[in-house]
Structure 1
Amino acid sequence: MLKEFSCGAVLYKMKNDNPLFLLVNSKRSRIWGFPKGHIENCESEIETARREIFEETGIKNISFIKNFRQEDVYIIDDTASRTDERQVEKHSIYFLASALEDASDFDKNEILELKWANINQARDMLSFANQKKIVNLAAYNLIIGGQHEQSAFKR
């Protein structure tokens, strides 16, 4: 089974003492999620996350929160685009980062829409249960209460 690794971030900004999370709507899949993408060349996970955030949202000025790394592991059946392997074990690694500027220009080839969402909107909009857990149990709790649990989620 092939393994693929992507990195990105749960990106947030504060408004009236409440975090707003930046969600991206993928042009390819039409689902809401976090900015992320494949590791290229010899990039570190953080370098990949930083590059993907900039490419997908136009945000360059961010600050990563220390000791936050969540991994979502799942199997995708990719028979339509692969001939060598039918299933791929996908690892999506998310960091937590504060946006120090607003989204300016996003990649319209990959992204349909960007939206800053409060925690309730984010839970409603995110497509996958593990992403909802990451934003709710890990990111939101850390931002609001200073507590989080580092873990790997499996679908």
Structure 2
Amino acid sequence: MTKEKSCGAVIFRKHQDTYQFVLVQQKYGLRFGFPKGHVEQNETETMTAKREVKEETGLDVEIMPNYKERTRYYPRFGVTKDVVYFLAKAKNTELQAQEEEIADAIWVDASEVLSKLSYKTDRKMFLSLSKKAKINI
């Protein structure tokens, strides 16, 4: 079995009286999820998460290393993919979706995130991370 590893981030900002989170819509399949990508040689998990967030959304983020979750899924036969997600605070808020891979990048109110996410593994991870960080959704 082939193993792959990616890292990404659940990016938040405080907006008025609520938290908002960034979701990216993949260009192919138009599914919503969180920004993530493959770990490159000599990168740490946090380096990968920051790089992928910047590439896919244009945002600079502050990674909260004490708040992370791991997910696992099977994208195709014979492949196991592990993804490490960090909670991250946005340093800037203007989104710029990466044209090559991302159809859209949007800010979503915390109460709407679960209904927008396309994958069960992402919903489960988001609930767990939100609970750890004491973010009401």
User: TM-score surpassing 0.5?
Assistant: yes
Superposed structure 1 runs of 4+ greater than 4 Å apart: none
| Offset of residue 141 of structure 1 | 5.3
Counterpart residue identity of residue 134, structure 1: M
| Aligned positions of 1:116-155 closer than 5 A | 116-139=107-130, 142-144=133-135
Contact 1:11 1:97 in 2 (8 A): yes
Deviations 1:2-39 (A, max 9, x none): 00000000001111231100000011231100000000
CA offset at residue 50 of structure 1?
Answer: 0.3
Q: Counterparts of 2:131 and 2:21 in 1: how far apart (Å)?
A: 9
CA RMSD of aligned residues (A): 1.6
SS of 2:74's partner is strand
Partner of 1:76, secondary structure, is: coil
Distance 1:66 1:143 in 2: 15
Deviation at 1:106, TM superposition (A): 2.3
Greater alpha carbon shift after TM alignment, 26-35 vs 131-140: 131-140
Q: How high is the sequence identity, in percent, across the aligned residues?
A: 34
**C-alpha spacing 1:19/1:140, structure 2 compared with 1 (3 Å):** farther
Shift in Å at residue 140 of structure 1? Answer: 5.6
Paired position in structure 2 for 1:65: 64
**Structure 1: distance between partners of 2:95 and 2:16:** 21
Matches within 5 A, 1:87-106: 87-106=78-97
Structure 2 gap segments, 5+ residues each: none
User: How many matched pairs?
Assistant: 136
- Report how far residue 143 of structure 1 moved: 4.5
TM-score, structure 1 normalization: 0.81
Cα distance, 1:58 vs structure 2: 0.5
Contact 1:10–1:34 (8 Å) recurs in 2 = yes
